[in-house]
Amino acid sequence: MATAEDAVAQLQEYAALSAAEAPDLFNAVTTAAQQEAIDLIADDALVPASVADVRVARVARICAQLGRLRSPTEVAVVLRVPTTTARSTISRLRALYRGEVETWAKALIAAQVASVEDASSEALGERWRITFNDPSALDYSVEMLRREGMTRDIDVRKPQQTLTVPKRMRDRRGEMRDAREVLGV
């Protein structure tokens, strides 16, 4: 039978978590599983009807425990599913738990920014280059800017995990804003 230490080691190896991050995720998973079992037995709320909905509810509980959205790699390792299923689960989570996901995505973005550099040039004007440690943080950043109508003149480089944006951008209401403030970086 596997131990808690085995699970933490699996999270470190397959989800690429640090020695500090892996136990936190493990504890969140076990707490979420315990709460799920209690609710299943004692709560009068509807029980998720499909396997996909059970996964979404489970990931939502884990994210709530940790206060940030998990990456597809982490979800894949925790649920023992392919990365494509993990991405699908996160997409369903984003649709069903919009308010919570917004808060968790901002926390993920803030946690996964590697650097913010001045990338201004005479040809392109004043710009910021934001480099991310996690590709999902880059994706969420672009989505947040898109919702604000702030996608003109942005440059997304997925292989480098960078987002280059004008220092001041007009949002969908016509106001000039700093993309760093929108993203919380």
Q: 124 and 57 in one domain?
A: no
Indicate whether 55 pLDDT > 90.
yes
Indicate whether 69 pLDDT > 90.
no
State pTM to two decimals.
0.74
Question: In sequence order, which residues have a C-beta less than 8 Å from that of residue 134 and are 6 or more positions away?
Answer: 71, 108, 112, 161
* DSSP-assigned letter for residue 128: E
Indicate whether 43 pLDDT > 90.
no
Indicate whether 99 pLDDT > 90.
no
**Number of separate domains in the chain:** 2
Ordered strands of the 162-166 beta sheet? 113-118, 127-132, 162-166, 155-157
Give the pLDDT of residue 102. 86
Q: 123 and 89 in one domain?
A: no
Q: 169 and 124 in one domain?
A: yes
Residue 107 belongs to some domain of the structure:
no
Domain span including residue 146:
112-183
Q: 74 and 12 in one domain?
A: yes
Residue 103 belongs to some domain of the structure:
no
Q: 52 and 28 in one domain?
A: yes
Residues 44-64, mean pLDDT to the nearest whole number: 87
